Amino acid sequence: MSDETEKLKESAEESKKKFGSPIVVDQKTSSSLWFDQRELNVRYLISINRIKKFYEELSKGKVMATKCNKCGEIYFPPQSYCNKCGSNSMSWIELSGSGELLTYTIINVKPQSFSHYPDYAIGIAKMPQGVNVLAWIDGDVRSLRVGMKVRLEVKRRDPEGYLTYWIKPE
């Protein structure tokens, strides 16, 4: 819960005791607000069934894309079918070598679920295989510039402790 919500909750609890209803008053507008008594937590189960090999290769330190066996189209994020030619026959190829940083940003105001991280840099890299990869950048943000050479690196994301990929300046 954010500090903002925590304060509102305290005030709603007080209002319930005194007044009977969880009503809070907005300081700026003096408007009365009902403090929701029902909380909803959301966490999704997302199918990665048809691209499971991506995660198997990730555990070996490789970042993989898929390539259509019929028309040669390359997909990243990996896609289990080809919407260009209609084929379901795909192979896996590694995204390796020297890429080019197309653009980047530093996230200063973070979403709730990322608020435990220090400010992080996100970039998009064009890989020699012809597809782009969006990821966090592992490196000194002051040295970043559009067009610089980068490569991909796989390592654990803490504190969650799961494997993911980074863009790393060369």
* Residue numbers at the binding site for another protein (CB under 8 A): 2, 4-5, 26, 28-29, 31, 33, 36, 44, 46, 76-77, 102-115, 117, 120, 122, 124, 131-136, 145-147, 157, 164
Q: Which of 119, 124, 122, 129 is nearest to 147 (CA)?
A: 124
Apex 119 CA angle, 114 and 123, nearest 5:
95
Among another protein, Zn ion, none, what binds residue 112 when CB lies within 5 to 8 Å by partner kind?
A: another protein
DSSP secondary structure string, 10-43? HHHHHHHHHHSS-EEE-TTT--EEE--S------
Choosing among Zn ion, another protein, none, which partner's interface includes residue 68 (Cβ < 5 to 8 Å by kind)?
Zn ion
Q: Which is nearer to another protein, 98 or 105 (CB)?
A: 105
Nearer Cβ to another protein (19/114): 114
Interacting residues with Zn ion between 46 and 105 (CB under 5 A): 68, 70-71, 73, 82, 84-85, 87
Instruction: Please state, as a whole number, how many other Cβ atoms lie within 10 Å of the Cβ of residue 151.
Output: 18
Longest dimension (CA), the chain: 71
Residue number with CB closer to Zn ion (71 or 107): 71
